Amino acid sequence: MFLIPVVILLPMVMAVVSACVSKRSALIRDGLVVGTGIATFALCVLLLLQGEGHLTIPAVCGFGLTFEADGFRAIYACIASFMWMMSGIFSPEYFSHHAENRGRYSLFNLLTLGATLGVFYSDDLYTTFIFFEIMSVTSFVMVAHEETPGAMKAAYTYLAVAVIGGMTTLMGLFLTWQQLGTLGFEAMQAAKAAGSVNLTAASWLIVVGFAAKAGLYPLHIWLPKAHPVAPAPASALLSGILTKSGVFGMVVICSRLMPGDAAFGNGLLVLGCITMFLGAVLALFSVDLKRTLACSSMS
């Protein structure tokens, strides 16, 4: 399915192009960003309408990369690309009053889009992890965009949580590979059903990285800090899509590795309830609108 790599690579390639033309013409740069958003959304819709499509790219980073454009993941990708498209359309108006480092923002904004689509179209945890880590690094720059002391502190908090969560997830992937011999979504489920293996420790380790991005308690600390200091278009994407990439990973673990495991499910339920209540309380006492929205997203 050639459309899958096109959808993922198009924003990344255009990110470099927009950054190169940024100093020459802000108008062309903005046009490229908006056009890329529209084209990416159109391709995601086309993938959704075509039905399932599978792609394997062998030998990349050792294990190779696998992608699947089935209904669930294709819908996630369409929602992500739609939000990026709308953010790109409205960004020029916002940045007309915040003109600093527009080229850099465009570069990392589109790189983050490509990485996010890579997460949603991934068909094994290794591919998910690679694009998840790319997304964490590129979105860090968007949080730090203003370069104020508050923005830098929030960005470093975000990066620290992302790195610690990512390394913990990597440990879980090692354990899962050792016990199942595969990280493919369907293959993991089949391998677990075929043999009696205990994946509780591995699953909780993997969940840590995704929970950090989703803003799940107690890894939520970056969310109320990052939103108020990030540019409004970036804040919208952090809230609307990047946190949902963490939810996507947690859904994979629940449905492929730990379906029907009461202890695991109840543990997530308790953490989810704490997060929901804590987010509402923090929002109630917030006096900053963007922070209130961040707490609402967390809840």
Mean pLDDT, to the nearest integer, of 55-78? 83
Give yes or no for a contact between 53 and 97, defined as CB atoms under 8 angstroms apart: no
pLDDT reading at 84 higher than 70: yes
pLDDT tens readout for residues 32-56: 888 888 999 998 888 888 876 777 8
Give yes or no for a contact between 91 and 33, defined as CB atoms under 8 angstroms apart: yes
**End-to-end Cα, the chain, rounded Å:** 37
Mean pLDDT, to the nearest integer, of 212-235? 80
Count of CA atoms in the C-beta half-sphere (13 A) of 208: 19
DSSP SS3 for 67:
strand
pLDDT tens readout for residues 239-263: 788 888 888 888 888 888 888 888 8
pLDDT at res. 187: 80
Instruction: Please state the pTM of the whole predicted model.
Output: 0.86
**Tokens standing for residue 146:** 């203003």
pLDDT at res. 237: 84
pLDDT reading at 134 higher than 70: yes
Between residues 58 and 78, which one has the greater pLDDT? Answer: 78
pLDDT at res. 1: 60
Q: What is the mean pLDDT of the chain?
A: 84
Mean pLDDT, to the nearest integer, of 266-272? 90
Give yes or no for a contact between 135 and 115, defined as CB atoms under 8 angstroms apart: yes
Rg, C-alpha atoms of the chain: 19
61 to 54, 102, 126: CA distances (angstroms): 19, 32, 9
pLDDT at res. 270: 92
pLDDT at res. 82: 92
Mean pLDDT, to the nearest integer, of 55-59? 80
Q: How far apart are CA 183 and CA 200, in angstroms?
A: 15
pLDDT reading at 68 higher than 80: yes
Mean pLDDT, to the nearest integer, of 99-121? 85
32 closest CA partner among 82, 81, 83, 92: 92
Instruction: Provide the sign of the torsion angle of the four alpha carbons 176, 177, 180, 182, taken in this order.
Output: positive
246 closest CA partner among 209, 192, 191: 209
Instruction: Provide the sign of the torsion angle of the four alpha carbons 290, 291, 292, 294, taken in this order.
Output: positive
pLDDT reading at 169 higher than 70: yes
Give yes or no for a contact between 11 and 102, defined as CB atoms under 8 angstroms apart: no
Q: How far apart are CA 169 and CA 5, in angstroms?
A: 25
pLDDT at res. 98: 62
**Tokens standing for residue 100:** 């600093």
